[in-house]
Amino acid sequence: MTRARRTHGLSRRHFALALPSALLASGCAVPHQGTGRPGDPIVLTLLSHYASGELKAALQGPVDEWNATHDRVKVRTRAVEFTDLLTTFMVRQAAGQGADILHPYCLWTGQLVQAGVLRPAPPEHAEEIRRGYGEAAVGSSSVGGRLYGYPTEMQTYALYYNKRLLREAGIDGPPRTWRELEEAAYRTSRRDRYGNTLVQGFGLSTYDDSTTVGQTLALLNSAGGTFVSADGRTTAIDSPAGRAVFDLEHRLVAKGASAPGVNVYKAFPSGQVAMVVSAGWWTGSLKPLMGKDYRDVGVAPLPVPEAGDQRATLSTGFMLGVNAASEHPREAWEFLRWLNTEKVGVKSAKKGAKATRMSSLQVSVGSLTGRADDMRTLLSEGGDPNLRPFLDALAYAVPEPNVPGAQQAKSLLRKNIEALWTGQQSVDEALWTTRRQVDQEVSRAW
Amino acid sequence: MVNTLTPTTTERAHSPGSAGLAVDGRSRTRRRQVVVAYLFLAPTLLFFAVFLILPLGFALLLSMSRWAGFDLGDIDPVGLDNFTDLFADGSTFLAPILTNTLLFALGTVALALAGSVLVATCIDNLRFQGLWRTLYFLPIVTTVVAVGNVWKYMYEPGGLVNGVLNALGLGSVAFLQDPDTALPSVVVVQAWASVGSAILILTAGLKSIPESYYEAAALDGAGPVAVLWKITLPLLRPSLLFVCITQFLTGLQSFALIIVMTKGGPGDATNVAALEMYRQAFSYGNWGIASAAAFVLFVVVLAVTLMQLWIFRRKGEDA
């Protein structure tokens, strides 16, 4: 009986060995990717940060349309929150699970290109992108003059202001120069007897890298300065323009007109911030958040240091690119062309008006694209007037530097800005430390 | 029925010709036992090899390389450059990052240990001890993200803590925004969150102290402070050692609470080694620097742990 069991059945020893082996084998197996049968459609994966709410629904619309009208190539969306997007790219790519189509923040383009993650746009696509998009959009999707994807969401920075708070402080309209900005900030700021901020005159925020650095870089650009040199290998923050920006922010914090610890994304909608520099996407969030109070919100071009100075601001963006490891790059580029350059009728605009699916998608969520013609079409009737200054700024905005090491340079700048705001560093120390640290890291990244 | 012609086992063992056979048999049995033992251990050994030894070796390789994290063919050996960069003039790794890490761990251990001894001693003298232990243990079963967010709101300018201060007529404190108060503020939360497990261990330790010592102390007229210093704490030393080492190790590797509450800011005021490693690897693609930092942290953890063991052993306690 024992012999029979050994011959025909599974002995305890065999079972003891087989079970962990099976568990290990199943644990290490590659995830199921499809049937692999000839004739099955190619399934492309698209990884973005359009993870929830209206953003998710807005992207799913055109993807569903593509899937309904294309039999050979299907697209499947995957989404994570923006704060997890870069990490997800890195981890999935390292694990050999990178998506076919990536939707990165343009700041990371240099880093992703250097790591061999992004595939250069084929010449015919690059030509279409150069022809259809503004200079800032093309610049933010390029590294070393080479294009790596279709610009999608474009953001420019302008001054949001609370009309009611300015009016109550006896100020007629938004400031146009830094002097007016500072004056308005001091006049509108209020604190209680315990030192709690009731109203920030000018919102400076430590909320995240984008908020902290975006505000400073937008002001730096408006003063004619740049963060990184033209060749991308050194920082140019330690310049008169950089010093002027750091001085301005230091004064605002020291005199109590700014409270960087307050979450400006909550405080402004609550009427606790008179003015703040932010990007265009915020209009889409503010409207539902503020309800009827949104009528108090105005947007103006970023103030310049002196009256008559040339306007400039920061522009940031996202792009849709193709993974260098994708097995179906041709199909992926074709989908991107369909999404980003093919013009279709616009329901909400005047009869016969056409725009790309991506432009319609962006405007539907209160955002902008780098296609100025689409933006004018889509905003021609009934658009939010607060989006106009952002649209105008597309003409003169300076793209955020996206050199290799840009993310680290931005984080280092943020740390030093915070050190300045909290009194850990003087203006001189902050400028000098930023320059030394960023130069070291950016040079290593190359 | 007994076969008188076949030698017994004892006889076989003593007969010159059969001695070798017996030894062979025993060694065969022993070999088979060893093989079976290793077969049973194989899954675990394989697990350790795959998830510990291999990554450790890979991390060591990366610590002496430059790598963006995707293509193994792109690993570029750079010798000790990553370690040199970590300690180069102007690098923030030694100060404030490593300093913050040690201060964070020390602060957490000190607060958690003092708090848990105090609370455990109190609980030991209360009724419904299970209830109190459960209440103090609750933060352990709560996720770090939830704990961090709740405390973050409590520390905010209009939050509960400042509300209490204002009610007492005191001015508000920018707990997490001021570089001088940010690290201590997070330390308090980490200590609060870890005090539950320490209490659990210490109350078990307190139970193991014979009641007769306290009775003898009472007869001798010893006060509560003398009892604590002369009886409770010395006899609680094994539990204290365990709590001390585990809390310190947890503190040195702390990451989640800091990323939730301060993201390492303001500036680098609350930045710690684990957070910096995470950023270097997953945000900046500097896997070499991240791995080098990991090895430096490993050396620090090892040195501190050995030092703790040595100190306690000198005091007569074997870990």
Q: How confident is the model over B124-179, as pLDDT tens digits?
A: 778 888 888 888 888 888 899 999 999 999 998 778 999 999 999 888 898 998 99
Residue B174: its chain A contacts at CB < 8 A? 261
Report pLDDT for B124: 79
Compute CA distances A172 → A165, A175, A386, whole Å. 10, 9, 18
CB under 8 Å to B269, separation ≥6 — which residues?
A422, A424, B96, B100, B179, B182, B183, B262
- B268/A415 touch (CB, cutoff 8 Å), yes or no: yes
**Which of A176-180, B201-205, B235-239 has the highest mean predicted lDDT (pLDDT)?**
A176-180
In this structure, what token pair is assigned to residue A446? 């190359």
CA distance A277 to A205: 10
Residue A88: its chain B contacts at CB < 8 A? none
The ipTM (two decimal places) reads 0.79
- A259/B90 touch (CB, cutoff 8 Å), yes or no: no
Compute CA distances A58 → A69, A364, A369, whole Å. 18, 8, 14
The confidence band for B17, taking pLDDT boundaries of 50, 70 and 90, is low
Closest Cβ opposite residue A116 in set B36, B71, B179 = B71
Q: What is the DSSP letter of B210?
A: -
Which of A227, A158, A250 lies closest to A410 in space, CA to CA? A227
- A415/B267 touch (CB, cutoff 8 Å), yes or no: yes
**The CA-based dihedral angle spanning residues B16, B20, B25, B30, taken in that order and rounded to the nearest 10 degrees:** 120
In this structure, what token pair is assigned to residue A53? 């709410």
* The pLDDT of residue A349 is above 70: no
* Contact residues, B window 212-241, toward A, CB-based 8 Å cutoff: none
- A117/B162 touch (CB, cutoff 8 Å), yes or no: no
For the whole model, what pTM was predicted?
Answer: 0.81
Beta bridge partners of A156: A315
Residue B156: its chain A contacts at CB < 8 A? 261
Contact A274, A256 (CB under 8 A): no
Contact A235, A434 (CB under 8 A): yes
Q: What are the φ and ψ backbone dihedral angles of A172, each rounded to 5 degrees?
A: -75, -45
Contact B202, B129 (CB under 8 A): no
* The pLDDT of residue A24 is above 60: no
Q: What is the DSSP string of B105-118?
A: HHHHHHHHHHHHHH
**Amino acid letter for position A177:** T
Q: Is B279 on the interface with A (CB under 8 A)?
A: yes
SS3 call for A161: strand
Out of A325-334, B22-31, B192-201, B296-305, which region has the weakest mean confidence (pLDDT)? Answer: B22-31
Q: What is the DSSP string of A241-255?
A: HHHHHHHHHHHHHHT
Report pLDDT for A428: 94
Determine what percent of chain A is predicted with pLDDT higher than 90.
Answer: 54
